C-alpha cells in the first residue's frame, strides 16, 4: 500500500513537471535530493554508531538495566496481561528506555526482541495480543527525552543551535504518547465487538 502511495506521488510530480515545462528542474531536483539523502545517511551513521556504542556501554555498566527497572513499573501498568516475572516486561522496558534516550533506529533491535518476547505469551501466536498493540502504539508515538537523531540532522545542516528544539519535541512526544495510550485503550473494545 505504501509503495502504491509513493508511486502515485512520484508519478504526479514527474507528470506535473513535464506538463508545466519543468521536466529538467524535476530531474535536477531528483538527482540533487538523491545526493543529499546519501550525505544525510552518512552523517547519521556517525550519530547512530555513537549512540549504539553508548547504549552498549550503558548495557555493560548496568545503566540500561537500571533505566529498564525504572521503566518497568509503568510498563507493568501499561501491559497488565504480561506476567510480572515474564522476560517480555524487561524487553519492553529496555525498548522504551532506548526510545527515551532518542536512539531511533538503534532501538529497533530492542523493539524486535520485545515483540518476540510478547509473542511467547499464550494466545499471541496467530494474531496481535493487547500487549503487542499497546507496545506498537507507544513505539509509534515515539516518546523521546533526548532527540539525538533530530539534533544530529540539525547540526549536519548547519543549525547554529541544534538542540533548541528539545523542549518542544519532548512536549509533543508526551502528548502523542498520551493520545496513543488513550486511543489504544478506547479502540480495544471497539475492535473486539467486530
Instruction: Please determine, for residue 168, whether its predicted confidence score (pLDDT) is greater than 80.
Output: yes
What angle, 0 to 180 degrees and rounded to 10, lies between the N-to-C axes of helices 23-61 and 148-156?
Answer: 130
Average pLDDT, rounded, for the chain: 80
What's the rounded mean pLDDT across residues 174-185?
Answer: 88
Given pLDDT bands bounded at 50, 70 and 90, which one contains residue 191? low
pLDDT at 193: 54
pTM (two decimals): 0.64
What is residue 77's predicted lDDT score, i.e. its pLDDT?
82
Helix/strand/coil (H/E/C) assignment for every residue in the chain: CHHHHHHHHHHHHHHHHHHCCCHHHHHHHHHHHHHHHHHHHHHHHHHHHHHHHHHHHHHHHCHHHHHHHHHHHHHHHHCCCCCCCCHHHHHHHHHHHHHHCCCHHHHHHHHHHHHHHHHCCCCCCCCCCHHHHHHHHHHHHCCCCCCHHHHHHHHHCCCCCCCCCHHHHHHHHHHHHHHHHHHHHHHHHHHHCC
CA nearest to 52, candidates 100, 104, 98, 106: 106
pLDDT tens, position by position, 60-114: 887 766 766 777 788 778 888 888 777 787 788 878 877 777 666 667 788 888 8
Reported as a pLDDT band with limits 50, 70 and 90, residue 55 is low
pLDDT tens for each residue of 146-158? 777 788 788 878 8
pLDDT single digits (tens) 5-36: 888 988 888 888 888 888 888 888 888 888 88
42, 152 in Cβ contact below 8 A?
A: no
CA distance 85 to 30: 52
**Could you give the percent of the chain with pLDDT greater than 70?**
87
Least confident among 64-68, 118-122, 189-193: 189-193
Given the C-alpha cell 543529499, which residue does it identify? 36
Locate the domains of the chain by residue range: 43-192
Question: Which residues contact residue 93 at a Cβ distance below 8 angstroms, ignoring those fewer than 6 apart?
Answer: 68, 69, 71, 72, 75
Amino acid at each position: 500500500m505504501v509503495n502504491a502511495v509513493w508511486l502515485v506521488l512520484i508519478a504526479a510530480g514527474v507528470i506535473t513537471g513535464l506538463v508545466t515545462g519543468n521536466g529538467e528542474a524535476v530531474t535536477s531536483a531528483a538527482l540533487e535530493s538523491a545526493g543529499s539523502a546519501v550525505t544525510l545517511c552518512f552523517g547519521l551513521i556517525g550519530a547512530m554508531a555513537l549512540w549504539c556504542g553508548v547504549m552498549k556501554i550503558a548495557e555493560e555498566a548496568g545503566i540500561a538495566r537500571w533505566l529498564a527497572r525504572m521503566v518497568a513499573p509503568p510498563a507493568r501498568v501499561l501491559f497488565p496481561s504480561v506476567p510480572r516475572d515474564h522476560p517480555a516486561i524487561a524487553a519492553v522496558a529496555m525498548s522504551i528506555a532506548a526510545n527515551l534516550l532518542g536512539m531511533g533506529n538503534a532501538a529497533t533491535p530492542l523493539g524486535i526482541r520485545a515483540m518476540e518476547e510478547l509473542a511467547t505469551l499464550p494466545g499471541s501466536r496467530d494474531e496481535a495480543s493487547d500487549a503487542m498493540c499497546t507496545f506498537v502504539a507507544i513505539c509509534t508515538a515515539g516518546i523521546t527525552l533526548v532527540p539525538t537523531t533530530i539534533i544530529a540532522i540539525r547540526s549536519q545542516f548547519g543549525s547554529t543551535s541544534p538542540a533548541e528544539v528539545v523542549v518542544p519535541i519532548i512536549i509533543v512526544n508526551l502528548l502523542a504518547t498520551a493520545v496513543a495510550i488513550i486511543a489504544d485503550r478506547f479502540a480495544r473494545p471497539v475492535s473486539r465487538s467486530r
